[in-house]
Amino acid sequence: MTKGLVIVESPAKAKTITKYLGKDFTVLASYGHIKDLPEKELGVDVAHGFEPTYELIPDTKKRNNSRTVRELKSAARKAESIYLAADPDREGEAICQHLREELVGDKAQKPVYRLLFNEITKDAIQASLQSPRQINQALVEAQQARRVLDRLVGYEVSPMLNRGLGGGKVALSAGRVQSVALRLVVEREREILAFQPTEYWTFDARFAAALPPEFTAKLFSIHGETLKTGDFDKQRRNERHVRTEAEARDLERQLREVAEWHVAAVTTREKKRHPVAPFITSTLQQEAARKLSFPVKKTMSLAQKLYEGVELGPEGSVGLITYMRTDSTRIADSAITEVRDFITAQYGTNRLPAKPNQYKNKKGAQDAHEAIRPTSVWRTPEKVAPYLEADELALYRLIWQRFVASQMTPALFDATTIDIEGGPGFVFRATGAVLRFDGFLAVYEEGKDERDTDDEALALKLPRVTEGERVECRELQVNQSFTRPPARYTEATLVKTLEEQGIGRPSTYAQTLSVIQSRNYVEKRDGRFHPTPLGMVIADVLTENFADLFDPGYTAVLETQLDEIEEGKLNWREALEEFYRKFRADLEAAKVNLKKAKDGVATDERCHKCGAAMVLRLGRFGKYLSCTNPECKATRDYGTPPAATAEHGTSAEVAGEIACDACGRPMVRKRGRWGEFLACTGYPECKTTRNLTRTGAPKPAPIQLDETCPTCGQPLAVRQGRYGEFIGCSNYPKCTYIKREAILPCPQPGCGGDITERRSGRGRVFYKCTNTDCEAIYWDRPVSHPCPSCGSPFTLQKTNAQGEAYHYCADKENCGWTELPAEKRKKKDTPPSSKKRSASEAA
């Protein structure tokens, strides 16, 4: 009989843990949750204390859940004791509770324990076995409250949206956290659309002192008043701004008349830049987005792999990082000792602080787990590089560097400010900084969403000057500027805002951002979120009808209540009762409002086709006017004049003088699922459409070429696509031929085709053979760079996270040759000194 059965969530974790336990233990995986609320019904008895009804998750193609549960039950019967070791959080605790219910029931005939560990290492696993615990019912109730809360919102609001906003191919959905995230994106977009830029002027002067170099200073004050150059809404006393060109030119004339300039003050002080705390979940998501351009979902997926275990050759499967769902910056004493020894050996005692650096947690943080750190700092990124994929290595390097830097000394700068005075009270100011001691910057520097004054100071080199010294003004520049609207959210800034406002939990952000994109509520352009017309309608409907539920402040309050349930301070049924009372009233009112909007509100507008009255309705893409004549069915966007006449057979706005390429009739601007586009007024006889640019301007018509299509013989044309210009057949859509530039001949023997650049449906570049029978496809660019190892006539070129290009052999299985990037070559070729040894020597 097996002494113990250990159940974890994933096979990868099971494989790693197996080698730390003896033959008396069996380690199996539950593949995450085994039970959940039913798919096709509410599954919550509201009348009886919100009692949930759970059922086994239906079988899927990815895994057979019923078979998994049968295998776990069979193993449980053979074991003397059962150890439940799901992840150490609310979800993990709920998984353990459901496993206990299915495997042994309420009357357990054998002991069932809960194992908790923050890292998958031998010491952590064995320590948890020596002090097993019981399932924490407060955590289970907190997870259950969240699940029921989200089910009530999603199950009640989503059907209302689908009924109220008409039919569609894609079902609409609403979520407690995802809808607040959508609201933030929509409100930022409206701020940008409503923004009115304010004109202001700045003045830069280039001065030359006795010693080089020449330097640039900005006009700082005029007659004792500080020159204002930013937000004019919060103007204070003794501040002045220059908003018109006339005022700027008058001031320019006065400055040019100044005959003498001198150094009024020189201030030099030491400035410290302290290292930042090791990663928590949200900061890891933000930094990976900034530095590696990883979506939040990808970051969490890679971190999960690093946590569960990676094969490290002779060492076997090893968990490389601690648990990645945490909001605590606490570090274990053993890890502090280890990293301090590493810093001393690798970087010298001058970069080791006298005492370990301590970091405060943000208000309301749960201190159950450590910060995200490597399980052993001696496993440097260079040491594990041969065993990791490129993205895994990039994320591990980021976590490793941040952790090591967090326990190093501050960087020291000499910050110098020079004030240049002249004329009747004009003062120019230049600020520069020189790095005197790099400290933690030898390892890591935190990324930024925008450049700041520190970046400008480091870029400015100042000469040595003394007070009273005369300087010469060599050049004066007068610059017109305008205030800028707030920037659209990136994944990093949206995660930061959600965390700052207490909306959701960092562990849920990946799913939240994924849902609002997959539902086509927002789209990402150049790395920033833009709401779609559908997303703006959804946000407006939810905000107008559920002022509390989808308010960021109220969502944060709900998160606080969930924390109180976890801490045993609040009864979960009472919390849901309080929430549901208000929610139910709002829901009934919303149903009435949406029905009115769908049925239509009478207006004074008349139909341009039949003259009947038009009503104002709400659809998936916004408000629109609809004819009340059932035989007419004409519609027009709300606010759009009836520019098209009845003979055009359309209800949309005529787009200037643009004519259809196919039939010559006018084209009109219409709105569809993916936004606005141009359509021929001859529909349905002519179905020609044309896309619009992002600014709303029509894309140019195709330009025919003298070259003919090799497929159908029609002329080729220069066309505008989603990703720019391309050459394709003018007979599109009947012929879909696209001319592609050959990169190199296909390397497959006897193929005869060429490798060309393509784009996937999501815009990712890949490389494929033009021969449809050939299966050659590459995700990195093939180049005519022979492989020095196997002699292949080509290799693949890749760019790493630092922007360095390198080559590797396409035959990874049989050859595996890789050219080290410049950064790695430099480190590899640099011999270790007595003060800075390699990681392997230090170990």
Q: C-alpha angle 645/650/653, rounded to 5°?
A: 75
Q: C-alpha angle 149/66/43, rounded to 5°?
A: 25
The partner residues of 313 in beta bridges, in order of sequence, read none
C-alpha distance from residue 16 to each of 72, 99, 335, 336, 454 (Å): 19, 21, 21, 24, 45
Which residues, in sequence order, are CB contacts of 117 under 8 Å at separation 6+? 85, 88, 124, 125, 127, 128
656 — alpha (psi -120 to 50), left (phi > 0) or beta? left
Does residue 715 contact residue 738 with C-beta atoms inside 8 Å? Answer: no
Rg, Å, the chain Cα set? 33
Three-state secondary-structure class, residue 490 = coil
Q: In whole angstroms, give the CA distance from residue 136 to residue 96.
A: 10
The tokens for 18 are 């197996």
Q: In whole angstroms, give the CA distance from residue 555 to residue 551.
A: 6
Pick the closest to residue 681 from 644, 710, 709, 648 (CA basis).
648
The enclosing H or E element of 126 equals: helix 122-130
C-alpha distance from residue 114 to each of 83, 324, 678, 767 (Å): 6, 20, 61, 50
Q: In whole angstroms, give the CA distance from residue 290 to residue 801.
A: 11
Q: In whole angstroms, give the CA distance from residue 115 to residue 6.
A: 9
- Give DSSP secondary structure letters for 792-816: -S-EEEEE-TTS-EEEE-S-TTTT-
Q: In whole angstroms, give the CA distance from residue 157 to residue 252.
A: 61
791 — alpha (psi -120 to 50), left (phi > 0) or beta? left
DSSP H helices, 1-51, are: 11-18
- Give DSSP secondary structure letters for 654-666: EEEEEE-TTT--E
Three-state secondary-structure class, residue 65 = helix
Q: In whole angstroms, give the CA distance from residue 660 to residue 680.
A: 6
Q: In whole angstroms, give the CA distance from residue 766 to residue 770.
A: 13
- Give DSSP secondary structure letters for 591-611: HHHHHHHHH-EEEEEE-TTT-
C-alpha distance from residue 109 to each of 80, 86, 93, 130, 234 (Å): 10, 22, 21, 21, 70
The enclosing H or E element of 480 equals: strand 470-482
478 φ, ψ (degrees, to nearest 5): -110, 120
The partner residues of 481 in beta bridges, in order of sequence, read 200
Pick the closest to residue 285 from 304, 266, 272 (CA basis).
304
The tokens for 614 are 């038009």
Pick the closest to residue 319 from 308, 330, 329 (CA basis).
308
Q: How far is CA 314 from the centre of its chain?
A: 36
Residue with tokens 């006009």: 219
Which of 200, 323, 624, 806 is an active site residue? 323
Helix axes 296-308, 390-406, angle to 10 degrees: 80
CA quadruple 519, 524, 527, 528: dihedral sign = negative
Does residue 436 contact residue 413 with C-beta atoms inside 8 Å? Answer: yes
Burial class (CB in 10 A: 0-12, 13-18, 19+), 360: exposed
Catalytic site includes residue 347: no
Counting every residue written for the chain, the total comes to 843
Helix axes 572-599, 533-545, angle to 10 degrees: 120
Q: Which are the catalytic amino acids?
A: 323
